[in-house]
Homo-oligomer: A and B are copies of this chain.
Amino acid sequence: MATIYEVAARAEVSPATVSRVLNGTNVSEDKVARVKQAISELDFSPNRMARSLRRQHSQIIALIIPDIENPFFTSVARGVEDVAQAAGYSVVLCNSDGELSQEAYYLDLAASDNMAGVIWTPASAASTLGRFHSPDRAVVAIDRRPSGRETDAVLVDNHRAGFAATQSLFNQGYSRVACITGPADVETSVLRSEGWREACRAHPDLQPREDYLRYADFRVDGGRAALSALFALDLAPDAVFVANNLMGVGVLQELTARGITTSHYGVAILGDLPYFSFTATGATVIDLPAREIGGVAARLLLERIAGLTDPPRTEVLHSRVLPAQANVISR
């Protein structure tokens, strides 16, 4: 691959001038023309490693998420990529698997690779930026916030979504509504379950039963096990609010296994599963604007990369309750 020196030689200018042409600063017209000519003749494209080394940051954004096989994060990734790519940045995908050690590994990587910025879903409330923490490093949190709140964040209205989901179950006539949420040390989990709790309180003849609240792991099997445990209670609930999409799958699996249909058992799931649309699960789904979340996060990050120094901002996007049947044959 050609270098800037070969271009310079061919155009009979100095490498500095070539660089200036590349970066659009003041160069006389005839030299610009000669350089462009040489560039195309040599099929030259600048070496990004050399550029990054000199500039002290690369054109790469790290996206750290807990599970790339969860369609929610896939859509987020898509949103991030669309915006990032349009701005000339590439996205490195990093699976933390929800583990602090993996997360720390990737943050370290982002630092030693001088990546332009990081968009991440902190694995837990205990997550920290480690060595990536620095005033001039761009960071945006997605879906949850890290322990120190000093970064930009893009969130959904978790509390309200939990409330609305639970509410809709009451409206459907159920009275003993349980809640299966994520790990207790994840902010998102807690907010969603508090939405549930509040909706229960608002219900006149019912106190929220604490044994109706189950902390699981945001995964299929965890959701399934949690529902199983709920069934073992003396007075089992007759409906359940599930705080993420995968646990929702687990719940539906368990119901199917027990031969129970959603016409007899209320299910509201926070977060959708694309391509499920043709099956009548009968569950109420609260739609999360995943792709938009990614897009907004990327935009905030790019602003930081460009040097914005405003105090941390938080964008809250809204979820949307889909009526129990709307997920049938839509799309």
Contacts and interface: CB of A to CB of B under 8 A. Distances in A.
Contacts of A52: 49
A328 B77 contact: no
A48, A77, A329 pick with most chain B CB within 10 angstroms? A48
A13 interface: no
Interface in A61-86: 68-69, 71, 74-75, 77-78, 81
A69 B256 CA distance: 27
Interface of A: 1, 43, 45-50, 52-53, 58, 60, 68-69, 71, 74-75, 77-78, 81, 90-95, 108-109, 111-114, 131, 220, 246, 249, 252-253, 256-257, 273-281, 328-329, 331
Given A43-B131, A74-B69, A331 B253 contact: yes
Nearest to A106: B90
Specify how many copies of this chain sit in the oligomer: 2
Nearest to A67: B78
A119 to B, nearest CB: 13
Contacts of A95: 78, 81
B256 A328 contact: yes
B92 A68 contact: no
Give the interface SS of chain A, mostly helix, strand, loop or mixed. Answer: mixed
Given A91-B92, A93-B93, A112 B246 contact: no
Nearest to A255: B278
A221 to B, nearest CB: 9
B43 A68 contact: no
B47 A50 contact: no
A114 B275 CA distance: 37
A120 to B, nearest CB: 15
Given A1-B131, A49-B52, A275-B276, 18 more contacts: A45-B108, A45-B112, A45-B131, A46-B112, A47-B53, A49-B49, A49-B53, A49-B114, A50-B53, A68-B77, A71-B71, A91-B93, A92-B92, A93-B93, A220-B275, A253-B278, A256-B328, A257-B329
A253 B273 contact: no
